[in-house]
């Protein structure tokens, strides 16, 4: 499927969606947002990284900051933190370079490596956008975690590509229907900046009421 311009969704939202579809819908469908310490620190980190049109050159490797990217196949658009241009005879020529280069995205993250693949999915989405825009192949990129000050190399394999495409498709379905998924209390909820708006604790009350109705009240009737 090829999405039209008016149907494009924010690429950065794919990590929110994988973390919690309800969180993503509250932000992108209902337009609600609250900041907590983690989101504030993350924003400060990106302010230090993002510098539109800035080029940095280190040992022959140029780095482009804040590149605008988009994919009509995924229906996503956004801005990369950094894309390194590695000179290579197997690379491509892009504007501003006089030698072929390989594109190597680097996404900066606050904190440490996650137990799920939400960061990897966001990086994969950036790679797919760049591949579509420049008609090239990007086999890997990196995640830089501010807490550990280390890079984690991510292979953009078939599993990650398929997962990214599936999640993007689910996002478009929910957005087009305009229906926010129901709340479900999980261990990760305490770290969510929208917990007071989401009120996932109410889902437990609903489950208790349903249990009592189905297993107690009906038996007493």
Strands of the sheet with 9-10, listed across from one edge = 9-10, 76-79, 68-71
Mean pLDDT of the chain: 84
Report the pLDDT value the prediction gives residue 56, as an integer from 0 to 100: 67
Regarding whether 119 and 36 lie in a shared domain, the answer is yes
For 5-37, write each residue's pLDDT tens digit. Answer: 999 999 999 999 999 999 999 988 888 765 544
Q: Which domain holds residue 140?
A: 5-181
Are 157 and 71 in the same domain? yes
With contact defined as beta carbons under 8 Å apart, do 92 and 101 qualify?
yes
- Judgement on whether residues 38 and 106 belong to the same structural domain of the protein: yes
- CA atoms within 13 Å, Cβ hemisphere of 86: 10
Q: Each residue of 106-149: pLDDT tens digit? A: 999 988 899 999 999 999 999 999 999 999 999 999 999 999 99
pLDDT at 2 over 70: yes
Q: Are residues 56 and 111 in the same domain?
A: yes
| Whether residues 155 and 197 fall in one domain | no
What CATH number does residue 151 fall under?
3.90.320.10
Same domain? 130 vs 207: no
As for how many domains the chain has, the answer is 2
pTM of the model: 0.81
């Amino acid at each position: 499927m090829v999405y039209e311009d008016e149907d494009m969704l924010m690429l950065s939202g794919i990590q929110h969606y994988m973390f919690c579809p309800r969180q993503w819908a509250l932000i992108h469908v209902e337009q609600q947002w609250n900041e907590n310490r983690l989101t504030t620190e993350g924003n400060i980190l990106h302010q230090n990284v993002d510098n539109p049109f800035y080029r940095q050159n280190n040992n022959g490797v140029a780095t482009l900051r804040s590149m605008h990217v988009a994919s009509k196949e995924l229906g996503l658009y956004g801005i990369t933190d950094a894309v390194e241009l590695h000179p290579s005879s197997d690379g491509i020529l892009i504007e501003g370079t006089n030698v072929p280069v390989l594109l190597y995205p680097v996404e900066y993250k606050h904190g440490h490596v996650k137990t799920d693949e939400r960061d990897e999915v966001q990086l994969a989405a950036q790679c797919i956008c760049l591949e579509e825009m420049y008609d090239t192949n990007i086999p890997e990129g990196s995640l830089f975690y501010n807490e550990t000050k280390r890079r984690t190399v991510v292979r953009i394999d078939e599993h990650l590509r398929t997962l990214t495409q599936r999640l993007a498709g689910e996002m478009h379905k929910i957005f087009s229907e305009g229906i926010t998924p129901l709340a479900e209390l999980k261990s990760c909820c305490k770290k969510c900046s929208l917990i007071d708006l989401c009120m996932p604790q109410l889902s437990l009350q609903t489950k208790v009421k349903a249990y009592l109705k189905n297993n107690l009240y009906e038996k007493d009737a």
